[in-house]
Structure 1
């Protein structure tokens, strides 16, 4: 299982600070992961993407964590999506613009 996080950040340092806070958030729900990539998002200024690989042993805890990330999720055959641009979707984590969960 992989996550793609789209973060509103002006630089890499701000992105890393977000990642530290997200790590604390994930630990609270018993989810562990490894960071596989961090890069500036080429389509939107002041946005970075972070790719995460969720540890297999903690995948059972992801569902609970996701309900505390966003109020609404769109379900597709191979992934889940929550975004600030979705109607009636509230993202509970500051600076998180969008998250895609690849199942």
Structure 2
């Protein structure tokens, strides 16, 4: 049931947004073989459900600098720890709905 609610929210979010978000833009500008507008759009929709704009900017920076993600994950700052928990939820959501 929870997956159905999230799937419906993804469809609504996708229908309302005609412009690429920061996550989708960062995804599209990577050199990975599996990159596609469809996949990056789905990842953006998962981000819209789980991360606020500020968190999305931080997460988007990981596409250019993966080491920054490692630094954030290992940080002792409470704000980084809280962000990392939200980021993990984003990753789980994206994986479940985008079939990563």
TM-score when normalising by structure 2: 0.31
> Which structure would you say has the larger RCO, counting Cα contacts within 8 Å and 6 or more residues apart?
1
Pair member with larger Rg: 2
More strand by share: 1
